[in-house]
Amino acid sequence: MSDLSDYHEALGARLAPDGIPLDYGDMAAEFQSALTGAILLDRSHEARLQLTGPDRLELVNRMSTNDLARLEAGGGLATVFTNANARILFRAACHQRTEGLLLIGEPGQGAALTNYLRRNIFFGDQVAVEDLGAGSAQFALHGPAAAAVIHALDKRLNDLPAFGIGETRALDQELTVARRKAVSGSHWALLCAREGAGALHRRLLELGAAAGLRPAGSLTYNSLRIRSGRPAGRELSPEYILLEVGLWDEVSFSKGCYTGQEIIARMESRERLAKTIVKLALARFVPAPADVYADSKKVGVLTSSVEAADGQSYALAVVRLNSSSAGEQLTVGPGASPARVIGYAGAQPPFLRRAAGEAQAHPGLPS
């Protein structure tokens, strides 16, 4: 048990096997704070890598979907690493710092992503890849009041753009702060040295007390990310092409070659998408995975589901395009539990946005 795990347990946390808090004993309060105030999570199980050397951007750029070639210090982008069939291998937020390129990936994937990048370094490439996981900790702020906590920490950080990154010394610690995609309110990642991370967590809670900040666990985060439509887990796996799971905003359709580009470019140029990811409201909780039906015909798969602390059951599903419209009535699982499509999850395909706009402009046309 690490010192950080001991600290969380002293706060009343119930821990997962990897030492990350599942909850702090009151998930309803955690969930409500995420919607109306702010929560602080330990996300130290997320992958953290640093790439150094003059070819660091070139390495990631030629291997992944977004265009990092001219990423400037302080800026960032999310990108996806795919195989030759355009299936998802890894997703990472890339943040350019003066000392190197920071990659923040999915939980538990630090070693695998490090090895993947190292295997693809060509002879003559001037780049080194370091796994920062063991020596660092990572916390996350979520909620409508999260920005107020950041402002109290260092008001300069409030001006960070999407995926922007900054450095500060606060609460007796050197901190790296990055802005990330929101699941409730705003979302900020805070990285620090592993030593002293518990003391920093405690000071952050004290700093954010006026904003209603409270500690929360990964079960609350999972509810928020499903509710908001953020893909993770099996959605970010080789089962899917990234365009099918709402990651259109993490692809450059104008950059040079990368692994899987031909298939992704063809789907975009032909405006053909067989299936897409949607948010569902479930009449009752159904564990994922489960088949999804429309008029007794299978149209997709439930990929994530949760019974949230507000009593509602939320889910994500990858379904056929003709079953993805908001309000569509579906059923889930062998018991044919009712489900309703809330809307698309993640970023919508541009041609679907255009179609929706045309339908609104001409309400007599079928949507």
Q: Please spell the DSSP secondary structure of 288-304, one letter per residue.
A: SSEEEEETTEEEEEEEE
Backbone angles phi, psi at 36, to 5 degrees: -125, -20
pLDDT digits (tens, 9 = 90+) for 117-138: 999 999 999 999 999 999 999 9
Domain 271-367 belongs to what architecture?
Beta Barrel (2.40)
Pairing between β-strand 213-215 and β-strand 38-42 as defined by DSSP bridges: parallel
Token pair 């379904």 in the structure block, residue = 319
For the domain with range 3-44+134-226, which CATH number is right: 3.40.50.20, 3.40.190.290, 3.30.1360.120, 3.30.559.10?
A: 3.30.1360.120
Token representation of residue 161 = 């753009």
pLDDT digits (tens, 9 = 90+) for 144-188: 999 999 999 999 999 999 999 999 998 889 999 999 999 999 999
* Helix axes 27-36 and 218-228, enclosed angle (nearest 10): 50
Q: Kindly report the average pLDDT of the chain as a whole number.
A: 93
Distances (CA, A) of 13 to 26, 41, 134, 185, 318: 10, 11, 21, 24, 33
- The mean pLDDT value for 92-105 works out to 96
Model confidence, pTM: 0.93
Domain positions in the chain are: 3-44+134-226, 47-131, 271-367
Token representation of residue 254 = 């104008």
Domain 47-131: give its CATH superfamily: Aminomethyltransferase beta-barrel domains (3.30.70.1400)
Asked if 47-131 and 271-367 have one fold, the answer is: no
pLDDT digits (tens, 9 = 90+) for 323-354: 999 999 999 999 999 999 999 999 988 887 66
CA distance 220 to 282: 18
What is the widest separation between alpha-carbon atoms in the chain?
A: 63
CA distance 288 to 23: 21
